[in-house]
Amino acid sequence: MTTHTFDEQYWERHWTPGAASVMGTAPPHPYLAIELAGLPPGTALDAGCGAGAEAIWLAERGWQVTAADIAAAALSRAAERATAAGVDGRVDWVQADLSTWEPSAAFDLVLTNYAHPAIPQLAFYDRIAAWVAPGGTLLIVGHLDGHGHGHGHNGEEPPPEATVTAASITARLDPGVWEVVTAVETERTVARPDGSTKRLADVVVRARRRGTD
């Protein structure tokens, strides 16, 4: 059982230098290249951007990115990485609690990778899906349910309340509004900084909001 809530305090601690050293240097998720390669760049929101790898990947490919996170420590690390990558002008870093924040305009692309706020996971996906413009794309990368429920990030396993299935996400996407393009459950191996490896079980859902056919 998780013994804490995924609130701002939790995530600030998570991203405090030292604790953040692992995720703070992680490369972008491989699903971006697979799922987004064919899309023309436009505006994008990275919801729960952490240390910014995915936002920077998008900016390098011409997207104008709003990268939002509840943790100032994560955004500060992310902004340093964006400067080093030379994409400062293409990313707006926004400190916001996405369970209450509202954007001023919809985005051509809304993506989220492993973000799990204090509100229920699927309710969070409902919120961010509403911010996709007609004809735009939603990309969700989450932790797969049923694979080593643990005690949160310190135990390395995602907590059960942060896990989902592809079907649980697509069930929330009204077929009259969304065309589901990808809905997969997959595993991959990632390297830890000490050279060892670990397996991750992921859910990847990509959907296109109808409206500009």
Which two tokens mark 184?
């997969």
**Alpha-carbon radius of gyration of the chain:** 16
* 36 contributes a contact to ligand SAM by CB under 6 A: no
- Rounded to whole angstroms, the Cα distance separating 90 from 201 reads 31
**Please, which of residues 125-164 interact with ligand SAM by CB under 6 A?**
none
For ligand SAM, which is the closer residue by CB, 68 or 139? 68
**Please, which of residues 167-196 interact with ligand SAM by CB under 6 A?**
none
For ligand SAM, which is the closer residue by CB, 5 or 175? 5
Contact 48, 137 (CB under 8 A): no
Q: Closest Cα partner for 52 from 31, 24, 32, 33?
A: 24
**Please, which of residues 52-111 interact with ligand SAM by CB under 6 A?**
68-71, 74, 96-99
Round to the nearest angstrom and report the end-to-end CA distance of the chain: 46
Map tokens 């996407």 to a residue. 173
Residue in 63, 82, 110, 113 binding ligand SAM, rule: CB under 6 A:
113
Kindly indicate which of the ranges 45-53, 59-67, 128-136, 163-171 contains the residues binding ligand SAM, using the contact rule CB under 6 A: 45-53
Angle, nearest 10°, between helix axes 72-85 and 53-60? 30
Contact 177, 150 (CB under 8 A): no
For ligand SAM, which is the closer residue by CB, 95 or 210? 95
Kindly indicate which of the ranges 36-44, 114-122, 130-138, 179-187 contains the residues binding ligand SAM, using the contact rule CB under 6 A: 114-122
Would you tell me which residues interact with ligand SAM (CB under 6 A)? 6, 11, 23, 26, 48-50, 68-71, 74, 96-99, 113-115, 117
